[in-house]
Amino acid sequence: MLDLTRFRRDLHTHPEIGFDLVRTPRLIGEQLEQAGLEVTRGIGKSGLVATLRRGPEGTAFGFRADMDALPIDEANTFAHRSDTPGKFHGCGHDGHSTMLLGAALKLADDPTLKRTIHFIFQPDEENGNGAAAMIADGLFDRFPMSAIFGLHNMPGMPLGHFATQSGAFCAFEDNFEIQIAGQGGHASMPDKGIDPIVTGSAIVLQLQSIVSRSLPASKHAVVSVTEFLTDGARNILPSNVVLRGDCRGFSSEVSATIETRMRAIVEGVCAAQGAAATLKYSTSFRPLKNNPEATATIVSAAREVGSVDAEFGQVGFSEDFAEFLTHRPGAFILMGNGLDGPAAMPLHNASYDFNDDALDHGVAFWVNLAHQST
């Protein structure tokens, strides 16, 4: 029997990021092949799909776990800390992969299972590119499934507790870059140039009016400027300013409104100041929308493990699983990672760690979900 804690900690010690996953899918695939599952590698560059055939394809489920780590340094000092500078499992994907692997191994030995399951191990979730890559590589054509499900750990939530909701659950993430061109010069003679810092500052302030004045109160949204870069110096007015930032919300209509208003603000402020600007606006993550029937199924499976909040409310982070849900019905759920120590540190914090005591809860959840009727 595979020691899941030991396996999870091994993944944690040897993190891989983005699509550059070699060791992680190799270790997972070896375990699944030894258990008799059909393993297909290289789906979406470095993704892996393992199939357990126990029922008609029309009733097959897809279970997804992400494998990639984050490009940051780990602050923890325990024995299984990352051995690679600049790479760290700070979001718990090592735990997600281990739980899904453990469930696959358990279901392989379960003669009562009557459904085909495709176990999907995804690369590059953190950058929002892995799901699309797997889909473009024929995921749903090569592995037919009636629904797809995903799970993510949640620090600060009690062990054995789950949370989800039907409909919009995780936010979209849009990114923008505004390049402002002014006319630099001597700091003592601002009247001789066009100060892009003043222009950029005005744009930053006006962007805050999008949520408060262009969207109804019922439509949650966030517009954040996260970078303000110039090519000036102590006594030099810059010629160029770059603003970058992040927008969140829960519908494509909100995304479109933010972009439209942002373009109008940039154009208007620059016209008033005599500057020029270009705006690049793109979507990194779609809003994640849970299917109502699939949500009921996922809640039922979680209730057999512990407590469930089926009307948890919307969460502000984004999740690449949303891309899968634009192609197949399905649902996404959060699972408690614990209330103390590294397990309670925020996701993406350098001192976070997945809670090994949560492994059994995740395995039990996936096994229960495989047996759910639809």
Q: Is residue 324 predicted with pLDDT exceeding 90?
A: yes
pLDDT of res. 56: 86
Q: Is residue 374 predicted with pLDDT exceeding 70?
A: no
**Distance separating the N- and C-terminal Cα atoms of the chain:** 31
Q: Are 279 and 260 contacting, i.e. CB atoms less than 8 angstroms apart? A: no
The torsion defined by the Cα of 289, 253, 172 and 310, in degrees rounded to 10, comes to -30
Element (H, E) at 154: strand 147-154
Q: Distance between CA 260 and CA 228 in Å, rounded?
A: 21
Per the DSSP assignment, residues forming a β-bridge with 244 are 177, 227
pLDDT digits (tens, 9 = 90+) for 43-96: 999 999 999 999 888 899 999 999 999 999 999 999 999 999 999 999 999 999
Which of 54-58, 102-106, 169-173 has the weakest average pLDDT?
54-58
pTM: 0.94
Confidence at 202, pLDDT banded by 50, 70, 90: very high
